[in-house]
Amino acid sequence: MKKELNYIDLIRSRNSTRDYEQHALTDTDRAQIMEAVASAVPLDGLVLLDWKIADRFPMGCSGILYAECGSSDEELANYGYQGEQIVLALLADGWGTCWYYQVRLPGSPCSITVGKPATRRVRSVVMSVLSRGQTRKSMELLVPNGIPEHVSPLVHTVAESARLAPSAMNRQSWSFEVISDTQIVIKGDTGRFPDLGICLANAMVTARQLAGTATVSRLSEGTYSIAW
């Protein structure tokens, strides 16, 4: 039976893990990680990627998740979209994760470190500060046209989840437009990182949790609609 997750709480509690316990993955661990992988869905019209666990240990993690992926903007968005759903499912099971752009296994644009979180050390605190990991742009900056005064509270919640999405060096290279009580549009810079897909995933799982269903549609390069 599919596990029901409180994605809103997961998104608000998630932090990138940079300190891990020394823990070798067991067969049970690997099965649990692949169960999280199986819970992800691809962007409309695109394929479910073949995610693998590699025995690499950057930052002392237990392993890394990666998949082969094309280099088009749409394919990279799909990579981030699926990967962030996996990250949130792993968090629900007590795993720590971090999007890691410095490790790119053959065919992958980046990877996801996975392991048991440990007490934060000085090095990880410094890295978090350098990457501006504890800050996010305000909603006012991300919604240039503003949020209509009488819009549904659901819109605010979906936009807030999207605002909290992680991105390379915390650039948050996207903006939001409120179309109606049941639709927002997210526009992001295109490039070699899957950041936009991560943002779309946060919005999608939040809308799905609150409304029961959500549809993500590509409008043009770097521009997507989330409707519910």
Ordered by where they begin, the domains of the chain are 7-128 (3.40.109.10), 139-227 (3.40.109.30)
Rounded to whole angstroms, how far apart are CA atoms 8 and 88? 10
Ranges of beta strands (E only) in 21-78 are: 52-54, 63-66
Full pLDDT tens readout for the chain, 228 residues: 467 899 999 999 999 999 999 999 999 999 999 999 999 999 999 999 999 999 999 999 999 999 999 999 999 999 999 999 999 999 999 999 999 998 889 999 999 999 999 987 655 555 555 555 568 999 999 999 999 999 999 999 999 999 999 998 889 999 999 999 999 999 998 887 899 999 999 999 999 999 999 999 999 999 999 999
Rounded to whole angstroms, how far apart are CA atoms 118 and 123? 13
**Residue (of 174, 112, 176) closest to 143 by Cα position:** 176
Cα–Cα distances (Å) from 176 to 83, 87, 226, in that order, read: 21, 23, 11
pTM: 0.93
